[in-house]
Amino acid sequence: MASPLSPIPPPPFFSSTTTTTTLTRRSLLLSSTLSTTLIAPPNLSSSNSLSPPPLLDTTITDRVFLDFSLCPTYFRTVPYTSTTATASESTPLCSDPTPLGRLVIGLYGNLLPLTVSTFKLMCTSSSYKNTLVHKIFPGQFFQAGRQGRNREYGEVHLLPTLDLPRNTETVDSKAFLLKHSRAGVVSLCLSENDDDDEVKLDSDYRNVEFLITTGPGPCPQLDNNNIVFGTVLEGLDVVTAISSIPTYKPSERIRQLNDLAEFFGDERAQKGRTLWNRPLKTVYISDCGELQVTNPSMSPSLP
């Protein structure tokens, strides 16, 4: 007989430690089996499944050309007068221009008909002729086609007879799908636009400023903010030559003073920044137009 003070032994067929461990393992195995059995595989045909991105029609429908020249002397165009009928009649006062070469640009007319038609009309009407490449960002892109109050300084002046359509593609999200992935991408300047503020306030204002990427790498900072509407088919060596032209780079002290002036609301800060990245040599579009070909359509040129 057991002593009243001795501990009471557990039941013969019950061990709390062993039983608990066994049940826990079985529970884990059971829950794993039930999860595999009850969870149905995803329905690939469901409308909630991820769909591939839409295919973009980058077929080249039109081809235009831009001839670039370098003016080693002071460049100044003849200002418009009442007798000036077209932009092509304004001839540059450059004594000895140095041709840099020609760019042949393919345009994506099926994808962006409004942007392409405007750019094409600017070329065929010679509205880009004798206007400056006003900004160069080495290793990234250069800008041209800036509008100002006076074309005498190489800025674009739109004649009322052009009757450019209002470009509604600038507010269409589908127009921003193409990327600035390589050199030779032609894009409508939106985020990088620096047209004169007074020109932008005009009710008939049309944005015709454009940029061309120079490589060697992509420019992701331009993506989703500017509209890619074409590509350089011939003349990447000209693009490289333009990108190698030295530009004005402010010193760190000038940048700090400019930031301080902007902080205090000084309007001169913004005007001062317009000089940054200006080429130290005069580069301008000496001629432009459309290339008439029998069948301008080509296979998509973007990867």
303 residues of the chain, pLDDT tens digit each: 555 555 555 555 444 444 444 445 555 444 554 454 444 455 544 445 455 666 899 999 999 999 999 988 666 665 555 444 444 455 666 778 899 999 999 999 999 999 999 999 999 999 999 999 999 999 999 999 999 876 667 889 888 888 898 999 999 999 999 999 999 999 999 998 988 888 888 888 999 999 999 999 999 999 999 999 999 999 999 999 999 999 988 778 877 887 888 787 777 776 676 777 899 999 999 999 999 865 655 544 443
User: Could you count the other beta carbons within 10 Å of the beta carbon of residue 123?
Assistant: 23
The whole-number pLDDT of residue 262 equals 78
Give the separation between CA 232 and CA 250, rounded to whole angstroms: 31
Give the separation between CA 141 and CA 240, rounded to whole angstroms: 10
- Round the CA-based radius of gyration of the chain to a whole number and report it: 33
Give the separation between CA 290 and CA 121, rounded to whole angstroms: 9
The whole-number pLDDT of residue 254 equals 79
Q: pTM, whole model, 2 decimals? A: 0.75
DSSP β-ladder status, 185-188 and 141-144: unpaired
The whole-number pLDDT of residue 160 equals 81
Residue 18 phi, psi dihedral angles, 5° rounding: -65, -45
Q: Give residues with Cβ within 8 angstroms of 8, minimum separation 6.
A: 2
- Identify any residues that bridge with 185 across adjacent strands, giving them in sequence order: 231
DSSP β-ladder status, 131-137 and 185-188: unpaired
Residue 41 phi, psi dihedral angles, 5° rounding: -65, 150
The separation between CA 73 and the C-alpha centre of its own chain, rounded to angstroms, equals 33
pLDDT in tens, 239-255: 999 999 999 887 788 77
- Helical segments of 135-266, H only: 197-200, 236-243, 252-263
Q: Is the dihedral of CA 193, 197, 199, 203 positive or negative?
A: positive
Q: Burial-class residue 285 by CB neighbours within 10 Å (0-12, 13-18, 19+).
A: buried
Q: Give residues with Cβ within 8 angstroms of 284, minimum separation 6.
A: 68, 69, 71, 75, 92, 130, 131, 132, 133, 154
- Between CA 109 and CA 175, with CA 52 as vertex, the angle to 5 degrees is 30
- On whether the CB atoms of residues 159 and 208 are closer than 8 A, the answer is no
The whole-number pLDDT of residue 251 equals 77
